[in-house]
Amino acid sequence: MSNRKTLYDKLWDDHVVRTEEDGTALLYIDRHLVHEVTSPQAFEGLRMAGREPWRTGSIVAVPDHNVPTTDRSEGITDPVAKLQVETLDNNCKEFGLTEFDMSDQRQGIVHVIGPEQGATLPGMTVVCGDSHTSTHGAFGALAFGIGTSEVEHVLATQCLMQNKSLNMLVSVDGQVHPGVTAKDIVLAIIGEIGTAGGTGYAIEFGGDAIRALSMEGRMTVCNMAIEAGARAGMVAVDQTTIDYVKGRPYSPTGDNMEKAEAYWSTLHSDDNAKFDKLVHIDAAEIKPQVTWGTSPEMVVDIDSSVPDPEAVSDKVKADGMRKALAYMGLEAGMPISDIAVDKVFIGSCTNSRIEDLREAAAIAHGRQVSDHVKLAMVVPGSGLVKKQAEEEGLDKIFIDAGFEWREPGCSMCLAMNADRLEPGERCASTSNRNFEGRQGQGGRTHLVSPAMAAAAAINGHFTNINELS
Amino acid sequence: MQKFNKHSGIVAPLDRPNVDTDAIIPKQFLKSIKRSGFGPNAFDDWRYLDEGGPDIDNASRRPNPDFVLNQQPFDKATILLARENFGCGSSREHAVWALDDFGFRAVIAPSFADIFFNNSFKNGLLPIALQASVVDDLFKRVSDNNGLELTIDLAAQTVSCGDELIASFEIDEFRKHCMLNGLDDIALTLQHADEIKAYEANRKQSAPWLF
Ligand code: SF4
């Protein structure tokens, strides 16, 4: 039947203010998250045009990319970074916006604190000048990253001009084996469909293996939808979603909560809704994943070897693989478990929530970081995640094992602050991008789950965690 | 926004798929609170042999002679030719600002990442998606003739080489209109302020917890 809608169709239809003849729609934005890197030019543009933010209550701002993860009592030493963070503070003051500044315990990575505060709710449109805004789709929300001009557009009008994407369903059917996490699921999906596989689509993640995930796990999966080329990833609302949302500072209460729950319970694709593309993945086939190259689609099982470009017939692809191998300093055919790491980074908006830290701590418990590893660091996603982890004693487990326990922020995910790789250094990282130079110029990044990162730290090389746990 | 009508210029071949925005403008330059001045650091890691930063004078650095944009005549190129999924990764509009500041007016590739694609239109940089086989042919032409010039006609939606039509391209009517006229899309949206307010009033009734 033609009126059967996907989750994306429903979210879209509920936010259209008007549609142009060519189908371009003016879409209303419920929540606007702001950080220091992509907003200064937008506020400046607003000021220069003599405009005001349309709805200040929709905005939550936080500095995260540039903040130090070491002792903050001295402030930021890098003057350029300092100016950027102060510019955010000043803009928030000038326009009367809510900001969790560097001294606030609620400060953290923008994609961690939105959900943590209940500022991300099912059924919302959520935007942020950051591609990993797709994370918030885990709540049955339409969430996507925007550029700075669009940040200014949302500030000024509360709306965005958008063209509707196509619908894709990625269904992960069955159950995963022990030791296989949300990160492995999403890396396996990207390995399957490719980094451009989702371009032009909004992806809904479904299937038993996705339903079985906690909200943290769903956020990890949706976070990396952008790495599959999709601007938005989402998961239907269920009891897991509602249980997570309840009681958070920005969540509705009383009558409003009842009303909201009734609405939220409609936020799933109708039976037999039409998807433009369907992808099925067998959960039982997924093993712990490790990327070997400079694009998230360059990913294999922990039990396999570095692939050989000679075996690939597509010339452009084989060339890309050769460039990646040269950059990564790897030989085709080398077993993944023989790759030794110099540094380990557990953090980022993909994997810095409490569940991620618990997974890593379970591996680190009672063990020692290998002597060959120069630095293993754990960077919680927010001040509140840090606090909870400390209440659970996870900090002690990490510190006893030889990990550094840091203050929250983006940290070595993109190395805008002092946390970075030196040229040629190799890192097991729980972040989302293994691009050239992402974690520091000349640095080599392998993307893995938190448990796999901890295992690499302990053994000094990649290891199937099932051999450790 | 800069208007885009017709443009002719030299084509620089960047023969890579998945050129990401981290590569177009590395993170250390994102600390700037300005919109301009990114051109000298476009493709910084590929363009220079030594490390750069916001407080490092580029004149004192060693350019990488193997990088295409350091070679003549490509240092004067205004059209960039690349492989699929151009502009993937981070949403940083700084990538578009850097390309624009370098002097590029258009990028031709078989496909673009969505956010980069959007950001380009906001800055008068025209992203043109052409079939992979056409792009492949353009790479061959440039390698046979360094300094090859193409002409892009937005109104006619064509790419040509001299009198020879290479390809037509698709573009949304609305975007084309904005780009041809250099329109500020915030002002356009604000013309519908009443409709936005009406939507809000409605939504406050049906979903009061959102306000
Ligand atoms: S943690 Fe990394 S990916 Fe996430 S918002 Fe920060 S820099 Fe971006």
Are the beta carbons of B94 and B113 closer than 8 angstroms?
Answer: no
- Provide the β-strand partners of residue A351: none
Give which of B201, B178, B176, B173 is closest to B188, Cα–Cα. B178
Q: Best interface-test mutation with A: which of B15, B16, B31, B199 has the largest number of A CBs within 10 A?
A: B31
Dihedral of CA A386/A389/A393/A394: which sign?
A: negative
Q: Do B85 and A44 touch (CB under 8 A)?
A: no
Antiparallel, parallel or unpaired: β B79-82 and B106-109: parallel
Alpha-carbon gap, residue B125 to B120, rounded angstroms: 5
pLDDT value for B184: 85
Report DSSP state, residue A102: T
Owner of token pair 């102060």 = A86
Taking the CA of residue A263 and the nearest CA in chain B, the distance in Å comes to 9
Q: Three-class SS string for chain B? A: CCCCCEEEEEEEEECCCCCEHHHHCCHHHHHCCCCCCCHHHCCHHHHECCCCCCCCCHHHCCECCCCHHHCCCHHHCCEEEECCCECECCCCCHHHHHHHHHCCCEEEECCECHHHHHHHHCCCCEEEECCHHHHHHHHHHHHHCCCCEEEEECCCCEEEECCEEEEECCCCHHHHHHHHHCCCHHHHHHCCHHHHHHHHHHHHHHCHHHC
Alpha-carbon gap, residue A33 to A126, rounded angstroms: 8
Are the beta carbons of A59 and A98 closer than 8 angstroms?
Answer: yes
Alpha-carbon gap, residue A407 to A380, rounded angstroms: 7
Give which of A118, A404, A60 is closest to A241, Cα–Cα. A118
Owner of token pair 């500020």 = B184
Q: Does B50 touch chain A (CB under 8 A)?
A: no
pLDDT value for B195: 98
Are the beta carbons of B189 and B148 closer than 8 angstroms?
Answer: no
Phi, psi of A348 (to 5 degrees): 85, 165
Q: Tell whether the model's pLDDT for residue A1 goes beyond 70.
A: no
Antiparallel, parallel or unpaired: β A232-234 and A277-282: unpaired
Q: Could you list the beta-strand ranges (E) of A97-195.
A: 98-99, 125-128, 142-145, 159-162, 166-173
Q: What is the CA radius of gyration of chain B?
A: 19
The percent of residues in chain A predicted with pLDDT above 70, rounded, is 99
The helix/strand/coil state of B120 is: helix
Are the beta carbons of A246 and A258 closer than 8 angstroms?
Answer: no
Residues having CB closer than 6 A to ligand 1 are A 64-65, 109, 111, 130, 132, 348-349, 410, 413-414, 431-432
Tokens of A107: 């400060």
pLDDT value for A301: 97
Q: Tell whether the model's pLDDT for residue A469 goes beyond 70.
A: no
Q: How far is the CA of B8 from the centre of ligand 1 (A)?
A: 38
When CB atoms are compared, the residue of A41, A260, A437 closest to B26 is A437
Alpha-carbon gap, residue B60 to B53, rounded angstroms: 12
Q: Does A312 touch chain B (CB under 8 A)?
A: no
Question: Average pLDDT in the A253-278 region?
Answer: 97
Cα-Cα-Cα-Cα torsion A437, A439, A443, A445, nearest 10 degrees, comes to -110
The top-scoring range by mean pLDDT among A398-407, A408-417, B178-187 is A398-407
Report the residue of chain B nearest A30, measured CA to CA: B210
In angstroms, what CA-CA distances link A451 with A182, A305, A464, A468? 11, 20, 10, 10
Are the beta carbons of B198 and B189 closer than 8 angstroms?
Answer: no
When CB atoms are compared, the residue of A153, A196, A414 closest to B85 is A196
Q: Do B30 and A323 touch (CB under 8 A)?
A: no
Q: Best interface-test mutation with A: which of B49, B96, B120, B189 has the largest number of A CBs within 10 A?
A: B189
Question: Average pLDDT in the B35-54 region?
Answer: 93
pLDDT tens digits, one per residue of A176-224:
999 999 999 999 999 999 999 999 999 999 999 999 999 999 999 999 9
pLDDT tens digits, one per residue of B185-197:
899 999 999 999 9
Tokens of A439: 């974690």
Q: Do A257 and B118 touch (CB under 8 A)?
A: no
Are the beta carbons of A454 and A467 closer than 8 angstroms?
Answer: no
Q: Does A195 touch chain B (CB under 8 A)?
A: yes
pLDDT value for A3: 79
Report the residue of chain A nearest B119, measured CA to CA: A147
Give which of A189, A163, A183, A361 is closest to A277, Cα–Cα. A189
Are the beta carbons of B77 and B39 closer than 8 angstroms?
Answer: no
Report DSSP state, residue B171: -
Q: Which residues contact A186 (CB under 8 A, 6 or more apart)?
A: A220, A221, A223, A224, A227
Antiparallel, parallel or unpaired: β A343-346 and A426-429: parallel
Return mean pLDDT, chain B: 95
Alpha-carbon gap, residue A347 to A377, rounded angstroms: 8
pLDDT tens digits, one per residue of A223-238:
999 999 999 999 999 9
Q: Chain B partners of A256 at a C-beta cutoff of 8 Å?
A: 208-209
Element (H, E) at A8: helix A7-13
The helix/strand/coil state of A381 is: coil
Closest-CA residue, ligand 1 atom 1, reads: A348
Alpha-carbon gap, residue B193 to B189, rounded angstroms: 7
pLDDT value for A188: 98
Owner of token pair 């510019």 = A87
Q: Tell whether the model's pLDDT for residue A42 goes beyond 90.
A: yes
Q: Tell whether the model's pLDDT for residue B54 goes beyond 90.
A: no
Q: Tell whether the model's pLDDT for residue A2 goes beyond 80.
A: no
Chain mean position to CA A144: 11
Give which of A192, A279, A254, A161 is closest to B121, Cα–Cα. A161
Q: Tell whether the model's pLDDT for residue B98 goes beyond 70.
A: yes
Name the pLDDT band for A352 (thresholds 50, 70, 90): very high
Q: Between residues 32 and 51 of chain A, which touch chain B (CB distance below 8 Å)?
A: 37-38, 40-41, 44, 49, 51
User: Rounded to a whole number, what is the distance in angstroms from the first to the last CA of chain A?
Assistant: 49
Dihedral of CA B181/B186/B192/B196: which sign?
A: positive
Alpha-carbon gap, residue A413 to A416, rounded angstroms: 9
Alpha-carbon gap, residue A261 to B207, rounded angstroms: 11
Exposure string for A336-365, b = 16+ CB within 10 A, e = fewer: bbebebbbbbbbbbbbbbbbbbbbbbbbbb
Quote the pTM value.
0.95
